[in-house]
Amino acid sequence: MQHVANLSDVRGRVGEAAIEVDRVSHVYAGPEGGVPALQDISMSVGVGRFVVIVGPSGCGKTSLLMMMAGLRHQTEGRILCYGRPIPNPDPERVGVIFQEASLFPWLSTLDNIEFPLSLRGTPREERRRRSQAMLSLVGLDGFGARYPHELSGGMKQRVSIARGLVQDPPVLLMDEPFAALDEQTRMTMGHELLRIWSTTKKTVVFITHSLTEAVYLADEVLVMSARPGRIIDHIQVTLPRPRTYEMMATDVFGRLRDRIWQQIRKAD
Amino acid sequence: MRWPAPSTVRWAMLVVLLALWEFVPTTGVIPELFLPALSKTLYVLWVDKHIYFAALLVTLYEVALSMLIACGLGILVGAVVGGLAVLRNLLLPIFSSLYAVPIVILYPIFTAWFGIGSQSKIAFAGIYGFFPVMLSTAAGIRTIDPQFVLAARSMGATLPQLITRVIIPASVPTVFAGLRLGGALTIIGVVVAEMLTASAGIGYLVTLNRTILDSPRVFAGILAILVLSIAYYMLARALESRMVVWQSAGKQTRAASRDAQVAVAAPAAA
């Protein structure tokens, strides 16, 4: 794990904000005038925190995440990442992991993980070394030469995570990364993600539809309303870490999940 | 009972067909004018090998140049039309409907413009093969998974990097399907054009020998074109499967399962 510790250069200190969202609103241009998608969203993600956003379908969660990644622009308000706006994607600060694994089918696993580095012209030696390190971090040693179509859904998502981590950004944005996986794989992947998170000390913003996943993974859960999306609840998950599967059966876990469910039902 | 592999059956069918070609005419059931025996066809091919070889060179030269036009122009125009929404909406319906027009009707005009030499064949076959290449390139670029582009952008890809590292490799399979079809159409275009109005080439030899009722020499020409087309097809497939490992792998498993289904269904039907 030595190489991983060296790669992790966590900018900012615990207690400071990695991402600040300040009164962000967004209106889509629709065929019959503007459609309000997000309304007056303010939130702050502390360095090293694991923040989960839940909300009904179409509430603008993904839009918000895309704005944090610099992939989309809000109509109002501002988003700061380490104190600076993010008008364009900046892989030095933010890595994004998508819903479908979105691996390039024409590249081998290792080439997929290397892709972001090769875009920046990182020397071949270093690329190989770093992608190999990421491959073992996600537990896929020996699968580097395989192509995506030769991997299972869970393995693809692991590669996707490795690709998001390879540039060592302090922030990871994850847009329902496990949505396409079956229940069991999903649980295992959540557990894996927590392990990787605790090794790499990243700040994570994670979107999901699964309430169990939200409580299991999060330090904080933000609940959004239906369109136009607003933040209607902010829940601190006080369960100790490391999280275990047994915790899911506890009353605390059940009460937290229930509270989120009540909010979402109200919001819908 | 186990069924023989499909490839074995295919080879067996070919052998049977060749055997029928050889032996049915010798029995006298079919007059030689309609179908000369395989051995006789091969014999005249051997006797006239210099004539056929020269004609084949002319045909190959015309096919090569028209493929160059069809593929080069097709990919270029397809990429521009597929990549720009304005052009796509404006031009794609026009190109799609032009594809349905029997372009061979324009060939007399081509001979008027370019003469009866190779130029008119190249121009005609080039345009004939251009359409599928252009349309599949446009489709290939238009149907790229937007997730690929989004992911690459999130990793900081610039526009030139997006084009060379994502859009081009992602559209290769669709473009290749078009190239295979377009290439086959240029062969058809060249041969048809040679048969209509020409002074050289295999198609010309076939027409010439047909007018003097020399069936073995007609069939020799047909055989030459058959071999040319099959060689082209195998070359294109080999190239394609090398270039598109990730795509052909998926196809093969699908094809394999389809074969398996056919194999399961066949005994039931029998």
Question: Which residues in chain B touch residue A95, judged by CB atoms under 8 angstroms apart?
Answer: 154
Name the closest residue on chain A to residue B147, using Cα atoms.
A102
Name the closest residue on chain B to residue A166, using Cα atoms.
B155
Measured between alpha carbons, how far is residue B50 from residues A191, B44, B57, B225 in Å?
74, 11, 11, 16
3-state secondary structure of A93: coil
User: Cβ contact (<8 Å) for A116 and B155?
Assistant: yes
For residues A226 and A59, is the Cβ–Cβ distance under 8 A? yes
- pLDDT at residue B247, rounded to an integer: 62
Amino acid of residue B82? G
Question: Which residues in chain B touch residue A150, judged by CB atoms under 8 angstroms apart?
Answer: 249
Of A154-158, B183-187, B245-249, minimum mean pLDDT range: B245-249
Q: Is B254 on the interface with A (CB under 8 A)?
A: no
Interface test with B, best of A103, A119, A205 (most B CBs within 10 A): A119
User: Cβ contact (<8 Å) for B246 and A147?
Assistant: yes
- The rounded percent of chain B whose pLDDT value lies above 90 is 41
- pLDDT at residue A37, rounded to an integer: 87
Q: Which helix (H) or strand (E) holds A7?
A: helix A2-7
Looking at the partner chain, which of B150, B152, B156 has a beta carbon nearest the beta carbon of A90? B156
Residues in contact with A155: Cβ distance below 8 Å, sequence separation at least 6, in sequence order: A140, A143
Q: How far apart are CA B197 and CA A126, in angstroms?
A: 63
In B115-214, where does DSSP find H-type helix? 118-142, 146-154, 159-161, 168-196, 202-211
Q: Is B248 on the interface with A (CB under 8 A)?
A: no
Count Cβ neighbours within 10 Å for each residue of A183-213 and write b for 16 or more, e otherwise.
eebbbebbbbbbebbeebebbbbbbbebbbb
Name the closest residue on chain B to residue A165, using Cα atoms.
B155
Q: What is the value of pTM for the model shown?
A: 0.76
Name the closest residue on chain B to residue A86, using Cα atoms.
B154
For residues A190 and A243, is the Cβ–Cβ distance under 8 A? no
Q: How far is A59 from chain B (nearest CA, A)?
A: 20
Q: How far is B158 from chain A (nearest CA, A)?
A: 8
Sign of CA dihedral B91, B97, B98, B99: positive
Name the closest residue on chain A to residue B244, using Cα atoms.
A106
User: Cβ contact (<8 Å) for A71 and B169?
Assistant: no
State in Å, rounded, how far the first CA of chain A is from the last one. 45
Q: A36 is written with which tokens? A: 């309000």
Q: Is B246 on the interface with A (CB under 8 A)?
A: yes
Task: List the pLDDT tens digit at each of the 268 positions of chain A.
Answer: 344 443 334 456 666 888 999 998 998 887 887 888 888 999 999 999 999 999 888 788 889 999 999 999 988 999 999 888 999 999 889 999 988 768 999 999 999 999 999 998 889 999 999 999 989 888 888 898 899 988 888 899 889 989 988 988 999 999 998 888 888 888 888 888 899 898 888 999 999 988 999 999 999 999 998 888 888 889 899 888 888 888 888 999 999 999 999 888 876 6
Q: B35 is written with which tokens? A: 């179908």
Q: Is B117 on the interface with A (CB under 8 A)?
A: no
User: Cβ contact (<8 Å) for B249 and A91?
Assistant: no
Q: For B37, which DSSP code? A: -
Q: Which helix (H) or strand (E) holds A45?
A: strand A33-46
**Residue B212 dihedral angles phi and psi, to the nearest 5°:** -100, 15
Interface test with A, best of B148, B155, B163, B248 (most A CBs within 10 A): B155
Q: B193 is written with which tokens? A: 């054009």
- pLDDT at residue B86, rounded to an integer: 86
User: Cβ contact (<8 Å) for B145 and A96?
Assistant: no
Which residue has tokens 């702050």?
A: A44
Name the closest residue on chain B to residue A67, using Cα atoms.
B154
Q: How far apart are CA B262 and CA B270, in angstroms?
A: 12
Cβ-based burial of B230 (10 A; exposed 0-12, middle 13-18, buried ≥19): exposed
Closest CA to A118 of A100, A135, A130, A105: A130
In A56-210, where does DSSP find H-type helix? 61-68, 109-119, 124-137, 153-165, 183-200
Strands, sheet with A76-81, edge to edge from the N-terminal-most edge strand: A33-46, A17-30, A76-81, A84-85
Q: Is B147 on the interface with A (CB under 8 A)?
A: yes
User: Cβ contact (<8 Å) for B154 and A119?
Assistant: no
Closest CA to A20 of A79, A72, A73, A88: A79
Q: Is B27 on the interface with A (CB under 8 A)?
A: no
Question: Which residues in chain A touch residue B150, judged by CB atoms under 8 angstroms apart?
Answer: 71, 98, 102
Q: For A114, which DSSP code? A: H
- pLDDT at residue B188, rounded to an integer: 92
Question: Which residues in chain A touch residue B172, judged by CB atoms under 8 angstroms apart?
Answer: 106
User: Cβ contact (<8 Å) for B147 and A148?
Assistant: no
Of A70-74, B107-111, B255-259, minimum mean pLDDT range: B255-259
Q: Show which residues on chain A lie within 8 Å of chain B, measured between beta carbons.
A: 69, 71, 89-91, 94-96, 98-100, 102, 104-106, 115-116, 119-120, 147-150, 163, 167
Looking at the partner chain, which of B147, B172, B246 has a beta carbon nearest the beta carbon of A98? B147
Q: How far apart are CA B226 and CA A155, in angstroms?
A: 47
- pLDDT at residue A174, rounded to an integer: 94
3-state secondary structure of A60: coil
Q: How far is B12 from chain A (nearest CA, A)?
A: 35
SS3 content of chain B, % helix, strand, coil (to 5): 85, 0, 15
3-state secondary structure of B158: coil
3-state secondary structure of A107: coil
The string of pLDDT tens digits covering residues B42-69 is 999 899 999 999 999 999 999 999 999 9
For residues B37 and B26, is the Cβ–Cβ distance under 8 A? yes
User: Cβ contact (<8 Å) for B153 and A71?
Assistant: yes
Q: How far apart are CA A35 and CA A29, in angstroms?
A: 6
Domain B49-268 carries which CATH code?
A: 1.10.3720.10
Q: How far apart are CA A20 and CA A85, in angstroms?
A: 9
Q: How far is A89 from chain B (nearest CA, A)?
A: 5
CA angle at residue A70 from A66 to A72, to 5 degrees? 55
Q: B232 is written with which tokens? A: 């082209």
User: Cβ contact (<8 Å) for A115 and B165?
Assistant: yes
Instruction: Give the mean model confidence (pLDDT) for residues B123-151.
Output: 90
**Residue B227 dihedral angles phi and psi, to the nearest 5°:** -65, -40
| pLDDT band, very low/low/confident/very high, at B260 (cuts 50, 70, 90) | very low
